[in-house]
Amino acid sequence: MHYSVNSTRWKLFNSLKTKGLEVTIGSGGQTKFNRRKQQLPKAHCIDAACVGEVNQLNFQTTQALVAICKGQGGRQKAAVNKYGYPIRYNPLKPIKGWNSGDLALNIETGEVGRVNPRSKSNSFNFTVPGQKAKSVHVSKLKVVHKKDGYTYTFCPQLSINV
């Protein structure tokens, strides 16, 4: 895996250079030096800003958004046994207007979490970060954000005074 990442990085670097774009690269040691020189905490989102030649950073926010790719769901229509015979039918999404991964507000509790709809009942799995999934009736849920293949959170280590 390490070799494919490095070869992809160098291919991208050389392609951008041939297009006439100004590209700067740096080592991990230089990134660490830049971060420590400015007395910044270790965080992936901060390291991304410390790559290359950096004299001074001016952060405009105290919350960096982190987008994690979760995919759009599968295309499998039926689960099959070892002989290839369908044993369970998986209907196409959406189910009752909901997709797995949609963010919803539980009207009763005020919590926001991810929805995993069920086709045979009016109750969906509702998962709040840091808690166990629970069954919630669809009438008690309100859409906050339709899934787009990503889960959004904030960088927990970013605690910089702006």
Q: Within this chain, do residues 58 and 86 fall inside the same structural domain, yes or no?
A: no
pLDDT value of residue 74: 66
pLDDT tens, residue by residue, 25-50: 888 899 999 999 988 888 888 888 88
CATH number at residue 100: 2.30.30
Last residue of some domain: 63, 91, 106? 63
**Residue 41 in domain:** yes
Beta strand segments in the chain, E: 65-69, 78-80, 86-89, 103-106, 112-116, 123-127, 134-137, 141-145, 150-154
**Among candidates 32, 22, 147, which has minimal Cα distance to 94?**
147
* Residue 57, token pair as written in the block: 């950073």
Is 90 in the same domain as 56? no
**C-alpha closest to that of 141 among 113, 93, 110, 104:** 104
Residue 31 token pair: 């990134």
For residues 35 and 86, state if they share a domain. no
Rg (CA), the chain: 22
CA distance 15 to 18: 5
pTM equals 0.53
Q: Is 152 among the domain residues?
A: no
pLDDT band at 136 (very low <50, low <70, confident <90, very high): very high
pLDDT more than 90, % of the chain: 27
The answer to whether position 160 is within a domain reads no
Is 83 found in the same domain as 22? no
Number of domains within the chain: 2
Whether 43 is in a domain gets the answer yes
Based on the domain organization, do 98 and 57 belong to the same domain?
no
Which residue segment(s) compose the domain that 37 sits in?
Answer: 2-63
Is residue 105 included in any domain, yes or no? Answer: yes
Domain presence at residue 68:
no
**Do 82 and 126 have their domain in common?**
yes
Question: In this structure, are 57 and 113 located in the same domain?
Answer: no
Interatomic CA distance for residues 89 and 87, integer angstroms: 7
At residue 160, does pLDDT exceed 60? no
